[in-house]
């Protein structure tokens, strides 16, 4: 593999926004700084988020399509978040909001007036999630003319819970993604299923292709041989041949260290404190704060400095191996 290019992007610019880094889950494979304990006074207000959204709108040409991915933490901890979604719809921004789906169903259905611009993306975390609740939520969104996508995390010993969920959905596609377990290189230790990750030090997410001992050999085979349906919007050209980004991830090919990457003219990530960086990889460091006027995006390519790319839309961003 020498190059990746996507010619049918669904947006000119992608904004991944973590409005809060607090979460009511404590998944064993999630980076500790993404699920801090809940402190209500530190949760941003809708008014603050609307001001920040206006700063994005004012820095981008009006003819450009913008897709904002809301991640976390758990975004639906923010009171009246549906009002923020309404404002982004007025800005003509399309929104995909990732949630663990654990909040009351009525909380999600408050967003139904914005369903033309907002897609609910449920991350199914099998260690904690209530399968019946997730199925009811997903089916309710569809019944209210919304769009929902389910990304199911394949965690050690818990593949069967993903199978159980899929059986309770009314034809809703489930994209199965292997988790990247937390790994301590110094001690050669993997954080096991059901273990807390909140107080871990010197652990980082790592691909397990059989070398870490997190997945069983049978689980690795199921991941590799999966014949699941793959969303077309994840299609990408690899050396001129069409494939799917989820396949790249499952085959452990998401390693681009030293490649030239166009993340700086495609995607920003906004941290909970408002700091802005290019991509989850943070190539170029912090470039400003979204709560202040800011200039976004550059045409220059950057050099990938990460061992692995863990974010599926960043896997698809144009990049090529430097000879």
Report pLDDT digits (tens) over 126-183.
999 999 999 999 999 999 999 999 999 999 999 999 999 999 998 888 989 999 999 9
Sequence-separated (6 or more) residues with CB below 8 Å from residue 193: 28, 127, 155, 156, 157, 158
Sheet of strand 189-190, all strands in order from the earlier edge strand to the far edge: 189-190, 182-184, 204-205
Question: Looking at the predicted structure, is the pLDDT value of residue 208 above 70?
Answer: yes
Number of H-type helices and E-type strands within the chain: 8, 18
Question: pLDDT at position 316, please?
Answer: 95
Question: Looking at the predicted structure, is the pLDDT value of residue 302 above 70?
Answer: yes
Q: Which architecture, in CATH terms, is 8-235+263-305? A: Alpha-Beta Barrel (3.20)
Give the mean model confidence (pLDDT) for residues 256-273.
95
Give the mean model confidence (pLDDT) for residues 271-297.
92
Question: What is the distance between the alpha carbons of residues 295 and 264, in angstroms, rounded to a whole number?
Answer: 12
Within 10 Å of residue 39's Cβ, how many Cβ atoms?
A: 9
CA terminus-to-terminus distance, the chain? 12
Q: What pairing do the DSSP bridges indicate for beta strands 94-99 and 118-124?
A: parallel
Question: pLDDT at position 171, please?
Answer: 85
Question: pLDDT at position 146, please?
Answer: 93
Percent of the chain with pLDDT over 70: 99
* Mean pLDDT for the chain overall: 93
Task: Kindly report, residue by residue over 11-45, the tens digit of the pLDDT.
Answer: 999 999 999 999 999 999 999 888 888 999 999 99
Question: pLDDT at position 300, please?
Answer: 86
Q: How confident is the model at residue 229 (pLDDT cuts 50, 70, 90)?
A: low
Question: pLDDT at position 14, please?
Answer: 96
Task: Kindly report, residue by residue over 32-86, the tens digit of the pLDDT.
Answer: 888 888 999 999 999 999 999 999 999 999 899 999 999 989 999 999 999 999 9
Give the mean model confidence (pLDDT) for residues 183-208.
94
């Amino acid at each position: 593999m020498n190059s990746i290019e996507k010619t049918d992007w669904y947006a000119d610019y992608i904004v991944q926004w973590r409005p809060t880094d607090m979460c009511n889950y404590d998944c064993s494979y999630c980076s500790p700084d993404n699920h801090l304990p809940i402190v209500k006074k530190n949760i941003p207000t809708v008014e603050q988020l609307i001001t920040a959204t206006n700063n994005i709108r004012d820095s981008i040409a009006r003819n450009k399509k913008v897709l904002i991915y809301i991640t976390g933490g758990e975004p639906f901890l923010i009171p009246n978040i549906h009002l923020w979604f309404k404002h982004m719809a007025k800005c003509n921004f399309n929104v995909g909001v990732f949630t663990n789906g654990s909040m009351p169903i009525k909380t999600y259905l408050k967003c139904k007036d914005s369903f033309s611009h907002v897609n609910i993306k449920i991350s199914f975390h099998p260690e904690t999630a209530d399968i019946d609740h997730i199925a009811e939520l997903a089916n309710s969104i569809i019944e209210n003319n919304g769009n929902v996508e389910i990304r199911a995390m394949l965690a050690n010993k818990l593949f069967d819970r993903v199978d159980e969920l899929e059986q309770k959905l009314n034809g809703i596609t489930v994209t199965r993604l292997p988790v990247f377990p937390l790994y301590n290189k110094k001690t050669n230790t993997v954080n096991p299923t059901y273990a807390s990750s909140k107080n871990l030090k010197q652990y980082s997410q790592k691909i397990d292709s059989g070398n870490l001992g997190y997945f069983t050999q049978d689980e690795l085979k199921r991941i590799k041989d999966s014949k699941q349906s793959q969303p077309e919007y994840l299609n990408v050209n690899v050396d001129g041949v069409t494939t799917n980004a989820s396949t790249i991830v499952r085959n452990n090919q998401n390693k681009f260290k030293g490649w030239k990457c166009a993340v700086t003219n495609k995607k920003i990530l906004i941290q909970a404190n408002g700091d802005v960086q290019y991509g989850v990889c943070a190539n170029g460091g912090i470039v400003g704060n979204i709560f202040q006027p800011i200039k976004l995006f550059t045409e220059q390519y950057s050099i990938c400095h990460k061992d692995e790319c863990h974010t599926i839309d960043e896997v698809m961003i144009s990049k090529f191996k430097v000879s």
